[in-house]
Amino acid sequence: MNPELQRNVWLELNPTRLAVMPLVIGLIIMVASLGGGMRSVMEAAQMLFVVIAVVWGAFKAARTVTDEVRDRTWDSQRMSGLSPWAMTFGKLFGATIYCWYGGLIALAIYAATRMMAPAETNVTAPLWLDLLRLVLGAAFAQAVALSASLAGARRRRGQARADSFLFFAAGMAAYIGAESLHGANSVLNSMSETFAGEVMRVTWWGAPVDAAVFGVASLAFFTLLAALAAWRLMRVELQSAAQPVAYAVLAAAAILWFAGFQQDGPDRALAALVVCIGLTWATVWIEPKDVVAWRALAQGAPGAGALVPATLTALAITWTTAIAGAVLVATQGPSNELASALAAPAFAAFVTRDVLVFAFFHLGDRQKRGDFAAVLTIVLLYGFAPALLSGVTGSTLVKAAFYTDAADGFTANTVSLVSALIQAAAFGAMAYARFRARAEGLRLQPAAS
Amino acid sequence: MIEAEALVYDYPSKRALDGVSFTVRPGDVLALVGPNGAGKTTLLRLLAALDRPFSGRVRVDGRDAVLEPRRVHERIGYLPDFFGLYDDLTVARCLTYAARARGVSAHHVRAAVEKAAVRVGLADRLGARASELSRGLRQRLAIGQAIVHEPSALLLDEPAAGLDPEARASLSDLILALAAEKMAIIVSSHILAELEDYCSAMLILRDGKLVRGGPIHAGGGPGMTRLRIGLTAADPRLAQLLPTMPELQVLELGDGGALVELRADPEAAADLLAALVGAGLRVTTFAPERQSLEQVYLGAAREVAR
């Protein structure tokens, strides 16, 4: 057995706990059955699954790394010979194994009630699809919580315990998002068409697909991506060579899913750009801003490939997508879409500026406040500055210098692109000056003085 | 064998280690000493391939800690200053998990666990939970976990902190036993007395740099020995004779005696004694002299102050 899974089994599954779980579930189901028929039992079982496997499971997954950091066992785990995948799997299913034990008991009751009294329980979705949706929803929430926990441990090592709730919240937010893919009021159904007498179908990459099946397949896809993200973060922690390829694969997968809902090339490219921008921002938040690693990278230290920040890869993909989008919009879109074509690189340039704002503040003396100062600056640049300058000058073009609106026309989007590039260059130059000054200061400074 | 070469480690606004180089051979027990904040823990973490140096190299058994950190992990055992244990697991399970996680094959786990338990003196407590152990025994379990995969190098960060005298004595015995098995060991501490029993040399870290540039041997440099020579009365011939002796360094010279360093070879000592007697000097003392680590440390500290 996977040693990490084995360790968790030792810790989580003892005879007392194994006996208590079915007793508690049985008691709750019995109470539910007194208040109503099979439908009440089914609903109680489903609710129990959500509480035990999703909520408790995400909580356990969120704490699995932070507890190791707090209990000072994380370094010895980082020195282990387990592969990153074995460690990820061992933690993901090991830390939550008791939750799965209880969840699967609840799920069995849910399935049994549906099979025994289909008319009374009155659920239209096929049982297998429903069970898959529930299981994948729990696995997704847990995988996201574990990924968030690993990302948090990298950023704020040693203080991570206090952040456990945030990682848990990330898992729950992911679950709620995943749930929005299912049911009569789901996001997918709002995009679906009902063909006479048939099931709801959503058009994805030009093909009509059963919305319910597509929802569960999408959930499986995103669960896999979340597990891949956890694996990628674990690779970094275990010091397996972490190449930027993993991020590119994750980004490509996300682009593939989102762009599939658009009907033509230009729209797909712009949807891909929106995904890329979102992912770039995510890397800015997730990755530690390790100034020393940047210096080692700049000096081409041995093994520096592992130090390439995912944000750089994200920016490269964003720019590639933006330029591809601009070309597609300019060549395949309606003839008046040249303005929109310019908007794509303008969006990318503004994101580049934002990344450089973060770099500039993290290279300052008060590095711990870098995120706060950067966010404040970005808010001022997107919100306060255009409002103030538009009011003072009375020009509608001024706001284009601070953010892009694809519908604003050729001149405005040209102003956006040029302004964003100038701002990015300015913050880049200031960040570089700080980078040089800091490196020079360390070179001249006596050690540890 | 552990080799560190021109190690530099930076924090964002301060240089923590600056050009640290040294070698620890199999069977050596090296003390790593220095004031708080000198960079001892940082250095150990670099040697354990848990953090990467800004520049310089660490090699353990020839494996590069930056390029092959996971291969270094296979060869090294590390006990951090504040270590954790899985309190709800038994000693046997703690050791079993450590063995499996550190790559011991399933067939050999049982033997590895038993051997580690015997080495650290916990063979009779395999069924006890980690939470039930005393501080000294927890320390032993943590060391057991660090050596269960038979590493060739062991790094111990403040291993005796908080231990009672009996537990410290047991720890000394354990470290000497591991060194006798040709393990290269580095022990970090700022309590010199506890290192005296088992360390053959020491590295003094101060402000991220090594004092005197490398290991300092309390009884002389590597392969060297120090001898104290005493005469019945002051004799100027001693000062004339000693500088003429080959492969001998005069460390102190007074009218009535001297402290010299020469090859750790009985023949060399015998030649020196014969020369002294042959020159008509009336020798009353001719004995190896080993400074305490504390004396060496304070001497080095005085050098730095000057």
Provide CATH 3.40.50.300 ranges for chain B.
Answer: 2-213
For B232-274, write each residue's pLDDT tens digit: 888 888 888 888 887 788 877 877 888 888 877 788 888 889 9
A326, A292, A325, A332: which is closest to A309 by C-alpha?
A: A292
Determine, yes or no, domain membership for A221: no
Cβ distance A6 to B16 less than 8 Å, yes or no, reads no
pLDDT for B92 beyond 70: yes
Please, are residues A109 and A25 in contact by the beta-carbon 8 Å criterion? yes
Answer yes or no: are the C-beta atoms of A441 and B7 closer than 8 Å.
no
Q: Rounded CA gap, B40 and A382, in Å?
A: 47
Q: Are residues A126 and A11 in the same domain?
A: yes
Asked if residue A260 is part of any domain, the answer here is yes
Among B46, B69, B31, residue whose Cα is nearest residue B191 = B31
Cβ contact A79–B17 (<8 Å) = no
The residue type at A27: L
Domain boundary (A154, A174, A194) is at: A174
Among residues A111, A140, A174, the one where a domain terminates is A174
Distance, in Å, from the CA atom of B60 to the CA atom of A357, rounded to the nearest integer, reads: 41
CB contact under 8 A, B207 and A299: no
**What CA–CA distance (Å, rounded) separates A70 from A59?**
16
pLDDT recorded at residue B298: 74
* 3-state class percentages of chain A: helix first, strand second, coil last, to nearest 5: 80, 0, 20
Q: Is the pLDDT of residue B47 over 90?
A: yes
**Between chains, do A81 and B208 touch, taking CB under 8 Å as contact?**
no
DSSP A290: -
**Interface contacts (A, B; CB < 8 Å):** 116
Tell me the three state secondary structure of residue B82.
coil
Q: What percent of chain B has pLDDT over 70?
A: 93
- pLDDT class of B142 with cuts at 50, 70, 90: very high
> Are B15 and A301 within 8 A, CB to CB?
no
Judge whether B46 and B58 are in contact, CB under 8 Å. Answer: yes
Q: For A70, name the nearest residue in chain B, comparing CA atoms only.
A: B84
Q: What pLDDT, on the 0 to 100 scale, is given for residue A198?
A: 61
Among B11, B86, B100, the residue with its CB nearest the CB of A73 is B86
User: Which secondary-structure segment (H or E) carries A75?
Assistant: helix A74-78
What order of strands is seen across the sheet that includes strand B55-60?
Answer: B14-24, B2-11, B55-60, B63-64
Query: Any idea which fold B2-213 has?
Result: Rossmann fold (3.40.50)
Contact B55 A240 (CB under 8 A): no
Residues A318 and A411 in one domain: yes
> Which pLDDT value is given to residue A447?
46
Tokens of A101: 């034990």
Question: According to the model, what pLDDT value does residue A446 have?
Answer: 47
Q: Do B103 and A7 touch (CB under 8 A)?
A: no
Inter-chain CB proximity A80 and B101 less than 8 Å: yes
Other beta carbons within 10 angstroms of residue B260's beta carbon come to 21
pLDDT value at residue A103: 95
At residue B218 the predicted structure's pLDDT band, cuts being 50, 70 and 90, is: low
Residue B35 exposure: Cα atoms within 13 Å on the Cβ side: 9
Using a CB-CB cut-off of 8 Å, the residues of chain B touching A434 are: none
Tell me how far apart the alpha carbons of residues A43 and A30 are, in angstroms, rounded to a whole number.
13
Tell which of B55, B70, B91, B147 to mutate to test the A interface (max A CBs under 10 Å).
B70
Which range marks the domain in which residue A296 is found? 256-444
Q: What are phi and psi of B114, to 5 degrees?
A: -65, -40
Q: Which residue of B has its CA nearest to A367?
A: B12
User: Per DSSP, what are the bridge partners of residue B78?
Assistant: B155
Among B12, B88, B98, whose Cβ lies nearest the Cβ of A291?
B12
Q: Does the pLDDT at position B135 exceed 90?
A: no
ipTM of the complex: 0.83
- pLDDT at res. A109: 93
Question: Which residues of chain A are under the pLDDT cut of 50?
Answer: 158, 196, 446-449
Residues of B in contact with A449 (CB under 8 A): 14, 207
Overall domain count for chain A: 2
Residues of A with CB under 8 A from a CB of B: 3-4, 6-7, 10-11, 68, 71-73, 75-82, 238-240, 291-292, 295-296, 299, 301-303, 365, 367, 438, 441-442, 445-449
Residue A195 in domain: no
Answer yes or no: is pLDDT of B289 > 90: no
Task: Give how far the C-alpha of residue A279 lies from the chain's centroid of Cα atoms, to the nearest Å.
Answer: 8
Helices (H), B103-230: 106-119, 135-147, 165-180, 192-195
pLDDT at B72: 92
CA dihedral A22, A24, A28, A34 (to 10 degrees): 80
What is the CATH class of B224-290? alpha beta
Q: Cβ A448–B208 below 8 Å, yes or no?
A: yes
- Residue A184: inside a domain: no
Q: Taking CB atoms and an 8 Å limit, are B37 and A7 in contact across chains?
A: no
What residues in A contact B139, CB-CB < 8 Å?
Answer: none
Of A157, A174, A191, which one is at a domain's C-terminal end?
A: A174
Rounded Cα distance between A63 and A42, Å, is 30
